[in-house]
Chains A and B, each alone.
Chain A
């Protein structure tokens, strides 16, 4: 069974601060996806990274996939109150089925205070 450990579990910061969320595993994943979930809603995909060392940017969000495809990070620059939510990393299983069965990390609850 592949496991993803996400840290920190809780993050409370002031608007304008930077933050990084980490997602680590001892297993190799074929892809790593990051989702954001607001209260009472389903997760929404932010990004998918598939190549070791890959970096993707989405406005103030920077996503990185580790060289060995075992870890990933999400960095938010100048956080805004609208960034508040549950952030989930999810790994696509290497060598598995032909479709996207995912292993989810435990999630990071981010609260950005004005």
Chain B
């Protein structure tokens, strides 16, 4: 089945140690999103790519970076994780062709723990 895959599902890192989270999709969607979600709260958009065009949210800390080497893959890099960065990180995709009814398809998330 076409889907959004995130690896790893659980990631433990140390304070200040860089970490990379991975997302891949078989939907061939143009748009890929990264969200941060803290316990039982709404997802907070960090940034998104439309194809190769990167769009950063104004309040996303510089500590968070992203790469999209091709249509299928997108990475979230946290350069120096702090305790406050412990959260669920969700990747989502959308076709980018359906206007305001564009549906976002979410991956299962990566739970990041910072020690």
Q: A residues touching B (Cβ–Cβ < 8 Å)?
A: 6, 29-31, 33, 35, 40-45, 48, 50, 86, 88, 90, 92-94, 96-102, 104-107, 109
Contacts and interface: CB of A to CB of B under 8 A. Distances in A.
5 contacts: A31-B101, A42-B92, A42-B108, A48-B103, A100-B101
A107 B101 contact: no
A90 B105 CA distance: 13
Contact of A100 (B43, B104, B111): B104
Contact of A50 (B30, B50, B101, B105): B101
B95 interface: yes
Contact of B108 (A6, A31, A41, A99): A41
B106 A42 contact: yes
Given A41-B109, A99-B95, A106 B104 contact: no
Contacts of A40: 108-109, 111
Interface string B13-50: 00000000000000000110000000011111100101
Contacts of B63: none
A30 B40 CA distance: 26
Contacts of B105: 45
